[in-house]
């Protein structure tokens, strides 16, 4: 194939056929979902699948307990709800994330504080997290980005030093080891999304785990309106909390997915690491940093462009037949969401930003300069377990071609 001219400029594209489709569901998911339907009960209370998922998920991660719920956002709400901050308290977190990581903080009356990121990985920087700790800090929420675990030993040390709980959002980092332990097991609470794009999925759903069984019980209670379900007579609701109950149908599918999630991760690691080797000599393209002690499960495959414009590079790759996106979320989350940028939350109030005694926080450009720089030079490519080494060969050929021929 000729590579002397970009497809964007009329040359022959590297790839002419679509990439293989991800097909996460197999016969075991069909069978367990059928069992749930044949039971004539998809409600978790009176069923068995949700409780089995909680037990097996906790066992898989070596946790004291687990609480299943409706989404990854809900799992983080369970975590913040269990910590129970006072209105106006602060939770330090990462600026490269989905709003689902931030909404639970706001709904529990706490104020998100954003720390800057490591310019190599995009994960939040422990040193900047510690620099943001104040007397109002109620928790630290670390987000593992793209399948790359953050340095949890350092975050754990910061949390212990300041006496605050540590939450992990491992939604993009299922079954991924860091120094011999799975991401999600270093903190006081680990949260996982089961949304369609994740390493394991039931379409949508979530699970929160804790090494402490009582914390897991509290999160399970929080997911069920705080309802103690303690027999006949007047009902007892002991917490101010929503309904995030997972259904038996979701749990049945998730049980089958849990059995295969580690093999999914291992296949993605093999493909991603293979692509790293292929791209090792491509100039001005930074591959994901790797170390022997920390796995990378490649929820997406991230590239850092050292000279090229990310939008233009992504456009050129797409012309070569390789799907690519520029900038991931585009801007730090605090510039994407009106509930942060404009403090537009509940009605005409600015709650919790107007809680008496809370710090006045403004979310503005330049707040996390390394984050903005990282996103400006970020390129992401899809990578999943049903791809092949040949697909990675095409990725590498197209990336090398564009890096060589596209003007910076």
Q: What is the pLDDT of residues 305-331, one digit of tens each?
A: 999 999 999 999 999 999 999 999 999
Q: Could you tell me if 175 and 53 are in contact, meaning their C-beta atoms sit under 8 angstroms apart?
A: no
pLDDT band at 2; cut points 50, 70, 90: very low
Return the SS3 of 326: strand
**CA 125-129-135 angle, 5° bins:** 180
Give CA–CA dist 125/165, Å, rounded.
17
Q: Which helix (H) or strand (E) holds 141?
A: strand 137-143
Q: How many residues does the chain have?
A: 408
Exposure b/e, 90-111, CB count within 10 A at least 16 = b = bbbbbbbbbebbbbbbbbbbbb
Report how far apart, in Å, the C-alpha atoms of 367 and of each of 104, 331, 335, 350 are.
22, 12, 10, 20
* 253 has pLDDT over 60: yes
pTM: 0.96
pLDDT value of position 39: 98
**CB neighbours of 137 closer than 8 A, spacing ≥ 6?**
89, 90, 91, 92, 113, 162, 164
Rounded to the nearest integer, the mean pLDDT of the chain is: 97
* Packing angle, helices 213-222 and 72-83, rounded to 10: 110
Report the distance separating Cα 302 and Cα 271, nearest Å: 13
Chain segment 346-389, per-residue pLDDT in tens: 999 999 999 999 999 999 999 999 999 999 999 999 999 999 99
What are the residues whose beta carbons fall under 8 Å from the beta carbon of 231, sequence distance 6 or more?
none
pLDDT computed for residue 3 by the predictor: 58
Interval 236-242 mean pLDDT: 95
Mark residue 115 as left, alpha or beta (left: phi above 0; alpha: psi -120 to 50; beta: remaining). Answer: beta
| Domains, the chain | 27-259 (3.40.640.10)
Is the pLDDT at 232 greater than 80? The verdict is no
Question: 159 pLDDT exceeds 70?
Answer: yes
């Amino acid at each position: 194939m000729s590579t002397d001219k970009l497809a964007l400029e009329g040359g022959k594209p590297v790839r002419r056929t679509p990439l293989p489709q991800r097909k996460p569901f197999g016969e075991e998911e069909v069978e367990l979902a059928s069992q749930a339907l044949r039971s004539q009960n998809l409600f978790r209370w009176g069923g068995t699948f949700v409780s089995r998922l909680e037990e097996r998920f906790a066992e898989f991660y070596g946790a004291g307990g687990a609480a299943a719920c409706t989404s990854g956002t809900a799992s983080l709400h369970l975590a913040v709800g269990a910590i129970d901050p006072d209105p106006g308290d602060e939770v330090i977190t990462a600026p490269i994330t989905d709003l689902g990581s931030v909404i639970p903080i706001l709904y529990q009356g706490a104020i998100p504080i954003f720390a800057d990121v490591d310019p190599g990985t995009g994960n939040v920087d422990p040193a900047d997290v510690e620099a943001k700790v104040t007397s109002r800090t109620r928790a630290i929420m670390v987000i593992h980005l793209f399948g790359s675990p953050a340095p949890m030993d350092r975050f754990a040390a910061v949390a212990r030093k300041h006496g605050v709980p540590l939450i992990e959002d491992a939604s993009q980092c299922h079954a991924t080891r860091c120094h011999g332990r799975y991401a999600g097991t270093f903190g006081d609470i680990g949260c996982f999304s089961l949304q369609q794009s994740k390493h394991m999925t039931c379409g949508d759903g979530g699970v929160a785990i804790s090494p402490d069984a009582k914390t897991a019980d509290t999160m399970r209670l929080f997911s069920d309106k705080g309802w103690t379900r303690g027999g006949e007579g007047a009902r007892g609701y002991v917490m101010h909390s929503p309904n995030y109950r997972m259904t038996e149908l979701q749990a049945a599918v998730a049980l089958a997915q849990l059995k295969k999630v580690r093999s999914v991760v291992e296949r993605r690691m093999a493909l991603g690491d293979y692509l790293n080797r292929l791209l090792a000599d491509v100039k001005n393209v930074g591959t994901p940093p790797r170390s022997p002690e920390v796995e990378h499960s490649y929820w997406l495959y991230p590239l850092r462009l050292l000279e090229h414009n990310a939008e233009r590079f992504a456009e050129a790759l797409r012309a070569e037949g390789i799907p690519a996106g520029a900038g991931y979320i585009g801007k730090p989350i605090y510039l994407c969401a009106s509930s942060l940028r404009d403090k537009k939350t509940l009605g005409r109030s600015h709650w919790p930003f107007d809680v008496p005694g809370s710090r006045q926080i403004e979310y503005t450009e330049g707040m996390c300069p390394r984050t903005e720089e990282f996103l400006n030079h970020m390129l992401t490519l899809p990578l999943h377990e049903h791809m092949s080494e040949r697909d990675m060969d095409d990725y590498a050929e197209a990336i090398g071609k564009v890096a060589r021929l596209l003007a910076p």
